[in-house]
Amino acid sequence: MHLSCIKYIYVSIFLIITGLKISDNTYASLLSTNNEYQYIKCTAWYPRPEPANLVAVGLATGRIVLTSFGKGSSQDPHRLCGKEFVPKHQRQCSYLAWNPVESNLLAEGLEKHRADYSVLIWDVYHQQRACFSEEPGIIQKTSVELGSSEITSSLAWFPQEPQSLVTGMSNKFLRIFDLRDTSRPQSAAYTKAVYGVKVDPCCQHRLASFHEVSAEIVSESFQKKEIREFIIFYL
């Protein structure tokens, strides 16, 4: 299995190019390929221009690898490229999500384990020795852990509240957590639509998610003492 970096190209009806056709007006051309890793389950682009083309890769073992399509010419002050993040117990990595504001935070969703958490938040900039295993570049200490012995299906960060995130859990809840106090969810809604949760980029009080037979839009209302209530609209 390999990673492929592609570029989307818009073409007019008078121009014919070779490449993968995406739609009537767009094609994708292959830029580069990375063949370093096997059993890749998910990827997520680093949300900063440097290091260039940095990608987080989630593997079937739960391990995360930071790799790049670049040739080593871009700046990498935090030495991110080549770092690996390893959970306590091996299980499949289901999704990855970079914090769009605090780009040192990377969320990982894992399959359920009876003695471990299903959502791990890694601080990719952290350099304390206690966070590293005996093998250089291998980090084992997480920043935050959520969802003990639970199933997690999706996760999204709130771009205007970088300490907050929403997760789909246990096949029946959307839960909002604040990283400053993870002892309990800040809010929760009962719903089967726990997959593919996304925050509306134009209005962060709206969430979208889905399940097998329908999609939902969730509207958050903010009240005193930051109490959040969910209103669910079925599509």
What tens-digit pLDDT sequence spans the chain (235 residues)? 566 555 555 443 333 445 677 778 877 777 778 788 889 999 999 999 888 889 999 999 999 999 987 665 568 888 899 999 999 999 999 999 999 999 999 999 999 999 999 999 999 997 644 444 456 578 889 999 999 999 999 999 999 999 999 999 999 999 999 999 999 999 898 888 899 999 988 888 888 888 877 677 766 553 333 334 455 555 4
Residues 214 and 135 in one domain: no
Residues 132 and 215 in one domain: no
Residues 192 and 170 in one domain: yes
* Rounded Cα distance, 62 and 46, in Å: 18
In this predicted structure, what is the pLDDT of residue 13?
Answer: 37
* Global model pTM greater than 0.85: no
Residues 111 and 168 in one domain: no
Residues 54 and 1 in one domain: no
Residues 145 and 155 in one domain: no
Residues 170 and 221 in one domain: yes
Residues 139 and 200 in one domain: no
Please state the domain count of the chain: 3
Range of the domain at 102: 40-149
Contact 108, 119 (CB under 8 A): yes
Residues 102 and 155 in one domain: no
* Rounded Cα distance, 16 and 8, in Å: 14
In this predicted structure, what is the pLDDT of residue 4?
Answer: 58
Sorted by sequence, the CB contacts under 8 Å of residue 232 that are 6+ apart come out as 189, 191, 193, 216, 217, 218, 219
Residues 189 and 233 in one domain: yes
Residues 164 and 194 in one domain: yes
Of 99, 116, 149, which closes a domain?
Answer: 149
